[in-house]
Amino acid sequence: MSESNEPISHFIRNRIDSDQERGTYGGKVTTRFPPEPNGYLHFGHAKSIFLNFGLARDYHGICHLRFDDTNPVKEEQAYVDAIREDVEWLGFRDAEHEHFASDYFETLYQGALALVKAGLAYVDSQSAEEMRANRGTLKEPGHDSPYRGRSIEENLDLFTRMRAGEFADGEHILRAKIDMAAPNLNMRDPAIYRIRHAHHHRTGDDWPIYPMYDYAHCVSDAIEGVTHSLCTLEFEDHRPLYDWFLDKLADQGFFERPLPQQIEFSRLNLTYMPLSKRKLIQLVEGGHVDGWDDPRMPTLKGARRRGFTPSGFRLFTDRIGVSKSDSLIDFGVLEDCMRETLNDSAERRICVLDPLKLVLVNFPEDGEETCHAPNHPKKPEWGKREVTLTRELWIERGDFALDPPKKYFRLKPDGEVRLRYGFIIKHVDHDVDAQGNVTCVYAEYDPDTKSGTPGSDARKVKGNIHWLSARDAVETQVRQYDRLFKVPAPGARREDDAPDLERDFLDDLNPDSIHTLTTYLEPGAARAEPESIYQFERHGYFVADQKEHRAERPVFNRAVTLRDSWGKG
């Protein structure tokens, strides 16, 4: 349980600690979470959110939520809203520290101007194809652009006119003048500004030019006073460029030192679950799921509808840690975290998923008996609720076995079992249809064994099954979700694949990832608000569907099953 108290040591914390000791940033810790508003947040973002906001909280600093909206052709306001909701859902709404890279467009532009004036940036007029051709390859150096030697005056003139909108898309581009022979391709005169006559969701038509990520990101960090700029491993090669821009700008008096530092950690990988934006888009657009918030999707919207919780994600991020090694986390770890947090927070209810009729032969025809069920077995302060026992009940089909396996301790012919929170019953008979399926079970109840009454547990029975009055139970739709993919690494090559075989992750989709059941539910739970999460006893955790649940027509989604050691070993 050490994970609940002491923060877990990891290399980023160590770095911050040593910066704190040395007073590098005057004791300040500022981070940022910088999503691009061009898609929905997924589980990987949850890791980043808890890391960045969590660190800021632990060190009494600030974490900025910054929308990285530097590419107007891909970004939309709708995504901004969705992302904001998700961040808030995880518990980090902070309007005061919400920003947009586009807020800094003017500063960014001035910075670029400064670089041009310092002879550190130039306007290139090669086509995109020429630029690519001259970039060289991984093993060969690139070649200088014929425009690389333009005078500062000419560059200034051209860049100002780019900003004024005098040129067409692609006609010119502003590049940093670094080194076309650099072994790190990012340093081969990277683009700073491209011309894009496009409408921006926030700045409208103010700008015909837009800054590139590498330039905009580090400058935005510096503007916000970010001290530790955390990102994933694939940006490691970009760090020299991050430092180059800030260093040059600081030289020009644009920023004060100390400058922000970029620190990279490994991204989240989960078994059975692709997390790349590209693949998630394919799932949605190909109609393989029911939209971005399909409960099977690894998006935060999907997780929410699935009944996953912010606290579960928090536990998960603590549990998996932060490092630089490529890791692949079993999806079961996430499920465990949800189980663990839900066990604590969810009230218990009863739902019969696969109903079988049970008749108490010695119970009066119109009789009823009020039983009391605790809302949480470990929290008596959460109270109890009433469940009514009648002659005819629904029990779980799986709780009666005509031909029980060894160690089966539910109901069987001539066997005894306790009706949870009710009475001990003894099997007396059952009906079987032509196919051999049990259609009804008859049992006698023992009136002296009512749960909670003195002497009720004088007689011990091992089995304990849940039930619902056939008179009161409410018909309810329950959706049971299974993993979306049938293999741990969708789309990955298998051991015995032919060398030329190309795999498509969509071929690994699990065709059977959703089961819709008609079940019986306790009346009180049927009236729950959407998004209420319960443990359906002996089954798992279920959430009233955010969109479709109605008291008159209840719809629940299964978040995760209870652990079940029956049958193991």
Q: Is 154 a catalytic residue?
A: no
Q: Are 107 and 100 in contact, with CB atoms under 8 Å apart?
A: no
Q: Are 326 and 269 in contact, with CB atoms under 8 Å apart?
A: yes
Q: DSSP letter string over 179-211?
A: -TT-SSGGGSS-EEEEE----BTTTBTS-SEEE
Question: Among residues 36, 85, 368, 392, which one is catalytic?
Answer: 36
Q: How far is the CB of 109 from RNA (least distance, A)?
A: 15
Q: Is 277 a catalytic residue?
A: yes
Q: Is 348 a catalytic residue?
A: no
Q: Are 522 and 535 in contact, with CB atoms under 8 Å apart?
A: no
Q: How far is the CB of 198 from RNA (least distance, A)?
A: 10
Q: How far is the CB of 160 from RNA (least distance, A)?
A: 18
Determine the Cα–Cα distance for residues 53 and 82; give it in Å rounded to an integer.
18
23/398 with CB nearer RNA:
398
Q: How far is the CB of 14 from RNA (least distance, A)?
A: 5
Q: Which residues contact residue 383 at a Cβ distance below 8 angstroms, ignoring those fewer than 6 apart?
A: 374, 375
Determine the Cα–Cα distance for residues 503 and 506; give it in Å rounded to an integer.
9
38/227 with CB nearer RNA:
38
539/549 with CB nearer RNA:
539
Query: What does the block give as tokens for 327?
Result: 């890791």
Burial of 144 (0-12, 13-18, 19+ CB in 10 A): middle
Residue whose C-alpha is closest to residue 27's, from 60, 66, 75, 67: 60
Determine the Cα–Cα distance for residues 419 and 363; give it in Å rounded to an integer.
14
Q: How far is the CB of 358 from RNA (least distance, A)?
A: 16
Q: Omega of the bond prior to 183 within 30 degrees of 0, cis? A: no
Phi, psi of 91 (to 5 degrees): 100, 20
17/251 with CB nearer RNA:
17
Question: Among residues 13, 15, 277, 486, which one is catalytic?
Answer: 277
Determine the Cα–Cα distance for residues 394 and 388; give it in Å rounded to an integer.
12
Q: How far is the CB of 81 from RNA (least distance, A)?
A: 18
Active site residues: 36, 267, 277
